[in-house]
Structure 1
Amino acid sequence: MSDYAHRPGGKLKLKGEGEKKKKKKSHSSSDRAKVDAEISQKEKERERETQEVEERPTGRKMTDAERRFEEIQRKRREERALKNAKMSHKDRVQEFNQRLDSLSEHHDMPRIGPG
């Protein structure tokens, strides 16, 4: 038997994809009120979490680190948008020129050709 004879089947498993939904158990009518209250409370908590940071378009749930990263990125975008909204085009061009002036001559384009 060669080294390549064995080939495992199936698809690759991705992070968060293996989570299976739990089946609901049937309860008596008195227990249903308690279960419904617990379920509605859990749904409200989930809604609060998803309102803060949306789920990814792939459908998998985000980790805590991903949520924090997205939140920081959103705040940075808002700050940048506010900064740019306050500046006129003339101010932006002036700031750009000042930044270019502060760079060393190493970044200048070399002269090409005679003269």
Structure 2
Amino acid sequence: MKGATQGPTTTQKTFQLAREKRTNQRVNEAIQYTHRQRMDKLNAHLGSLSEHFDIPKVGPG
């Protein structure tokens, strides 16, 4: 083919670089804390919330 391009276009290269950058950023954020640290942080956050958001008791018992 005469008009076919070989390899990615400039826009595709830019997109791929941005995608790799976002992926690296997400990985770095994910490995920042251990699972236990993330769970402790979540439990502290949930403990600080008011009971307004608790599941209401519905039904007999």
TM-score, normalised by the number of residues in structure 2: 0.48
Q: Higher relative contact order at CA 8 Å, sep ≥6: structure 1 or structure 2?
A: 1
Find the structure with the greater CA-based Rg: 1
TM-score, normalised by the number of residues in structure 1: 0.33
